[in-house]
Structure 1
Amino acid sequence: MRIVVALGGNALLKPGEAVSAVAQRRNLRIATAQLAKMALSHELAIVHGNGPQVGLLALQEMSRPVETRFSLDVLDAETEGMIGYLIEQELRNSLPAAGYACATLLTMVEVSRDDPAFGHPDKPIGPVYTEAEATAAMQVHGWTMVHDGGFYRRTVPSPAPVRILQLEPVRWLLERGSIVICAGGGGIPVLAKVGGGYQGVEAVVDKDRSAALLACEIDADLLLIATDVEGVFLDWAMPARRLIRQAHPDDLAGLTFPAGTMGPKVEAACAFAKRTGRRAVIGALNDIERMCAGSAGTLVSCDQSGIAAD
């Protein structure tokens, strides 16, 4: 099978964990060990998140004079190269020495300048803040903040991906047996210029939406969205919450999920399943093999109507 795997932030950093090279490599070894097993039998394209990393770089830029600061699109590119390198290295270390190629591509993703997301930032990036720290950051920097797991995080625009510019190289590499790491952090957001060409834009594209678009465009058989929970839950904040085992995309899309976290995952899974008639699965990183086999996570499929939960 040709599989697109979207690795959530927990592949690099667990909730509350400090952004450090040691922690990221330790967590990646767990993820790449499972991905390496899948690569023995399947074609793989891997997309990863970059929220904590791009947020940290943005904070570092704040210490520089305004006229010398790099914009978010450039920081997206930096994190795509950095994280892609780490994933590729650890993946190569987990694979047999011969017979497996792996490539990381800096990937530009076109977005629309009319996307309403530019007026409603909802993508969390960077570290967590207490309420007092968040209030101060909003006053000093003019940031928008969102409540996230008992703390607060900065939010930035997250426009929908319209087109993946490096699509042909991705196809070329997959057809020749390479594992491809691409559209990292959702890709580098760019706008089409009047008269031709592209320019970067201040945003962070959601990696799940980009993974779904990629999966559709490369004719993937399966979209796996790996995160830090077992799957999609009904009544998530309630003691009696229930794990959705299987759902038709029309029924799942009728429910409401948090915009900056589970919402894009559900949207991406539903979009892929409806457009292709194939399966998408949302579940825990350590269940990737079982998700692929259909025995773990939340399966999103057009094969059956309704929602089955327990």
Structure 2
Amino acid sequence: MEKKRVVIALGGNAIQQGKDATAEAQIQAVEATAESLAALIAEGVEVIITHGNGPQVGNLMLQQAASDSPATPAMPLDVCGAMTQGMIGYWFENALTKALRARGLEQHVASLVTRSIVDPNDSAFHHPTKPIGPFYTEEEALHLERTTGYVFKEDAGRGYRRVVPSPIPMKIAEHAVIRTLVEAGHIVVASGGGGIPVMETMDGYVGIEAVIDKDFAAAKLADLVNADVLLILTAVEHVYVNFGKPDEMALQETSKEQMETYIAEGQFAPGSMLPKVRAALQFAESGTNRVAIITSLDQAVAAIDGEAGTRVRLAPSLQQ
């Protein structure tokens, strides 16, 4: 039987839990995540792992700014994105190798610094929305806006964060390389932080100051590598409608049309669940017999087996 190919989009808590941003704490979080991923890989699934980097790239930008001088000039946002891709990818290479060996499995893990090609005329460049870095109080955010010129917005009731443009990825530059590695039996970590945003020129690619939404990048990558499943892992087992209300309902098997109705009703928070739902819809409609699943990390194996999570696919009448 042909192996199922799955692109996994990991949430931020897969790398950093709480406010402890030390390397040691983040490595521990990645190792715990790798344990769950290894259980999925042990099921014989072909896996491509994507991840966020919001806290990491935000902190790195602060470090760059604090040490900016003629001798040690600060690096731009796209370069910081590349740096955090390498750092987090390295952590996952080590953690996955360790977790797989504990199960008697020897598979190569490759982390690939990945570029996401965007349209330089994307309207997102005029409306920054993507949060990066740590949370601040309103007073702290106002002070930073005055002193740095950065834009800050309130993030889902959790505080204020810096926001940057988040254009839609049109293509993943390295998708053919990623697909070749997976077909050769390797595990790939790619499109970290949504990939480095670049625009195409006559001579190649040029980086742009932006951050790609990791879930949209994962959906685009899943399409390009012909994945069967896009597995978006977050903090909850299901997507909910009427969340936090007496008539709260967990969604299980649902269609593109149903999800679009819920979006129109304003059921999903723009800063948290809405991008995940939109990415799931994007993948579900990118080809026949494709399914997107939104669930928690600890339910990853059960979700692939159809026993957990919110599953999004085209309506049966639209399947061919």
Q: Is the 8 A contact 2:176 2:225 kept in 1?
A: no
Q: 1:145 touches 1:155 (CA, 8 Å); kept in 2?
A: yes
Task: Note the alpha carbon deviations across 1:77-136, whole angstroms, 9 max, x for none.
Answer: 000000011011100001136541110001111111011111111111110101111111
Question: Match of 2:218?
Answer: 211
Q: Distance in 2 between matches of 1:259 and 1:116?
A: 17
Structure 1 segment 264-283 matched on structure 2, within 5 A: 264-277=275-288, 278-283=290-295
Partner of 2:41: 39
Q: Determine the structure 2 residue equivalent to 1:2.
A: 5
Whether the 8 Å CA contact 2:238–2:251 is kept in 1: the answer is yes
- CA positional deviation for 1:171: 1.2
1:124 aligns with 2:126: no
SS where residue 180 of structure 2 aligns? helix
Query: Which residue in 2 is equivalent to 1:18?
Result: 20
Partner in structure 1 of residue 122 of structure 2: 115
Aligned length: 303
**Partner SS for 1:275:** coil
Q: What does residue 88 of structure 2 align with?
A: 83
Correspondence for 1:55: 58
Structure 2: 5+ residue stretches without partners: none
* Amino acid in the other structure paired with 2:179: R
Note the aligned Cα RMSD (angstroms): 1.7
Unmatched segments (≥5 aa) in structure 1? 306-310
Q: How does 1:90-169 map to 2 (within 5 A)?
A: 90-96=95-101, 99-148=106-155, 149-169=157-177
1:32/1:163 Cα in 2 relative to 1: closer, same or farther (>3 Å)?
same
Equivalent residue, structure 2, for 1:296: 308
Distance 1:240 1:86 in 2: 42
Matches of 1:243 and 1:144, distance apart in 2: 35
Q: Which amino acid aligns with 2:313?
A: S
Matched, 1:183 2:186: no
Alignment of 1:201-240 (within 5 A): 201-238=208-245, 240=247
Q: 1:30 aligns with which of 32, 48, 73?
A: 32
Task: Assess if the C-alpha contact under 8 Å between 2:198 and 2:205 holds in 1.
Answer: yes
TM-score, normalization by structure 2? 0.90
Contact 2:135 2:158 (C-alpha < 8 Å) held by counterparts? no
* Equivalent position SS for 1:296: coil
Q: What's the CA shift string for 1:141-175, capped at 9, x where partnerless?
A: 12222222331111111111111111121111111
Choose 276-285 or 252-261, whichever is displaced more: 252-261
Number of the residue aligned with 2:270: 259
Q: Distance in 2 between matches of 1:33 and 1:42?
A: 15
- Tell which deviates more after alignment, 145-154 or 121-130: 145-154
Are the counterparts in 2 of residues 8 and 48 from structure 1 also a CA contact under 8 Å? yes
Following the alignment from structure 1 to structure 2, what is the Cα–Cα distance between the partners of residues 189 and 182?
14
State the 1:303 CA deviation. Answer: 4.3
